[in-house]
């Protein structure tokens, strides 16, 4: 077996090393990031992670979307999270909620930011009567690092809010609060009757992408006090009142809608059943020959006209006369008229008028045409 020369092996190894170094320094490295779309439940409910967190702590979690359920909800050792928009809450509904807290319930509420964003000086119908005002913070801290000092705790709890709103305790009723380094209050709690109300400038810290940061999850468990939790969450898309399809069509396409309605009415009129005066039912043994003859005459009148119809009757009369008298054609016109007058007992003047040959210029009114047809039919019937 022939062995490769040592020089050939060395040259091959050197070429591979050079090729490897060339590829190492010239190949462009890049990283592919593949984004996995969140499941539908996560996209639909931004507080789903908070629910699972509470369930892991053996707290019962119930999600509702109707405030009327507070009528049957026991306030004893029960916490309610009121999140999202509540612009459509009526005064009676808000009073129902406050009465529930007054009986011993714990309420954690997010400031109604949708109302404030549209009109900064607008008031929150739930918080304003309690002496809590929500306003824009002009001393905005970009870090939004909020600290909460708890009794018997050496270090404060840290949170990070992402909004520029601040809470103002006008009546000084708050028992504790959390603020930024510049003194912007983001959280406060006060007693209401036998219960407690905690207000947050934003519930962002408990959303799916933020609850795992800082001490956000700890705050949720601390405020709910280990009690069963009822979450009342209404996204803005659910509370925003959209116009109905009919109102939107009237507003944006009035002319198209009007033409469509006119077209529909026209179609209905076209296919509608026509009704007229009631007619007595025709007896089965009654002959309908007159109706048939009338229809046939109308058809011939429309198809061939007055002259042709008169000529057909004249030809039929001549045919019947010839059957009686084969020499009828050899007679002169006056003799023929006299012969017809004798056979049919009709005046010769009438026979001469109706049996005269038709010309292309012959025109008759409807009355004259009807009289001529009646006279020709009388002669034909007589023959």
Q: Is the pLDDT of residue 116 over 70?
A: no
State the pLDDT at residue 241.
52
Statement: residue 81 has pLDDT above 80: yes
* Least confident segment among 50-54, 334-338, 355-359: 355-359
- What is the mean pLDDT of the segment spanning 76-93? 82
Residues 6+ apart with CB under 8 A from 356: none
Judged against a pLDDT cut of 70, whether residue 320 lies above it is answered with yes
Q: 2-11, 115-124, 191-200, 310-319 — which one is most confidently predicted on average? A: 191-200
% of the chain at pLDDT higher than 70:
81
pLDDT at 149 over 50: yes
190-214 mean pLDDT: 87
Q: Is the pLDDT of residue 37 over 70?
A: no
Torsion 308-312-318-321 (CA) sign: negative
Q: Bridge partners of 168?
A: 133
What pLDDT band is residue 231 in, cutting at 50, 70 and 90?
Answer: confident
Mean pLDDT along residues 101-130: 72
Contact between residue 340 and residue 351 where contact means Cβ atoms under 8 Å apart = yes
The pLDDT of residue 143: 60
Q: Strand, helix or coil at 266?
A: helix
Q: Which of 138-142, 197-201, 304-308 has the highest mean pLDDT?
A: 197-201
Contact 94, 125 (CB under 8 A): yes
Q: What is the mean pLDDT of the chain?
A: 77
The CATH fold assigned to 40-239 is Rossmann fold (3.40.50)
pLDDT score for 382 = 79
Radius of gyration (C-alpha) of the chain in whole angstroms: 51
User: What are residue 150's phi and psi, to 5 degrees?
Assistant: -110, 140
Question: Where on the phi/psi map is residue 104: left (φ > 0), alpha (ψ -120 to 50), or beta?
Answer: left
Q: Within the chain, how many helices (H) and strands (E) appear?
A: 13, 11
CA dist., res. 234 & res. 83, Å (int): 7
- Nearest-angstrom CA–CA distance, 296 and 276: 24
Instruction: Show the beta-strand stretches assigned E in 111-150.
Output: 132-136, 145-148
Rounded Cα distance between 149 and 166, Å, is 18
Which residues contact residue 220 at a Cβ distance below 8 angstroms, ignoring those fewer than 6 apart? 50, 53, 54, 206, 211
pLDDT exceeds cutoff 50 at 238: no
Q: Is the pLDDT of residue 381 over 60?
A: yes
Is 50 exceeded by the pLDDT of residue 179? yes
Tell whether the model's pLDDT for residue 122 goes beyond 60: no
Average the pLDDT over 272-285 and give the result.
68
| The pLDDT of residue 117 is above 50 | no
189 closest CA partner among 124, 116, 113, 130 = 130
């Amino acid at each position: 077996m022939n062995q490769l020369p040592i020089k050939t092996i060395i040259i091959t190894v050197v070429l591979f090393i050079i090729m490897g170094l060339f590829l190492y320094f010239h190949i462009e490295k890049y990283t592919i990031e593949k984004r996995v779309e969140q499941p539908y439940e996560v996209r639909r409910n931004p507080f789903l992670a908070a629910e699972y967190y509470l369930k892991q702590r053996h707290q019962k979690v119930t999600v509702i979307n109707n405030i009327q359920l507070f009528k049957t909800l026991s306030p004893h050792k029960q916490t309610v999270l009121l999140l999202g928009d509540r612009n459509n809450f009526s005064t009676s509904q808000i009073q129902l909620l406050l009465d529930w807290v007054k009986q011993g319930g714990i309420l954690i509420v997010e400031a109604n930011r949708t109302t404030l964003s549209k009109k900064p000086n607008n008031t929150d119908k739930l918080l304003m009567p309690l002496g809590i005002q929500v306003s824009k913070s002009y001393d905005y801290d970009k870090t939004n690092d909020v600290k909460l000092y708890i009794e018997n705790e050496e270090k404060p709890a840290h949170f990070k809010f992402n909004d520029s709103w601040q809470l103002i305790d006008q009546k000084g009723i708050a028992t504790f609060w959390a603020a930024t380094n510049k003194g912007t209050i983001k959280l406060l709690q006060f007693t209401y009757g036998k219960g407690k109300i905690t207000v947050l400038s934003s519930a962002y810290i408990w959303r799916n992408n933020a609850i795992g940061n800082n001490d956000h999850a700890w705050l949720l468990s601390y405020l709910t006090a280990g009690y069963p939790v009822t979450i009342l969450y209404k996204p803005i898309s659910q509370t925003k009142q959209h116009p109905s399809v009919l109102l939107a069509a009237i507003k944006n396409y009035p002319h198209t809608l009007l033409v469509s309605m006119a077209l529909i009415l026209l179609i209905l009129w076209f296919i509608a059943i026509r009704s007229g005066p009631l007619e007595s039912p025709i007896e089965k043994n009654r002959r309908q020959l007159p109706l048939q003859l009338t229809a046939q005459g109308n058809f011939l009148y429309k198809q061939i006209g007055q002259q042709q119809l008169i000529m057909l009757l004249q030809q039929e009369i001549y045919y019947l006369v010839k059957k009686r008298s084969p020499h009828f054609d050899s007679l002169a016109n006056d003799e023929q008229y006299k012969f017809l007058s004798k056979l049919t007992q009709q005046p010769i003047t009438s026979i001469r008028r109706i049996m005269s040959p038709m010309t292309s210029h012959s025109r008759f009114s409807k009355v004259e045409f009807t009289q001529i047809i009646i006279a020709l039919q009388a002669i034909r019937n007589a023959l």
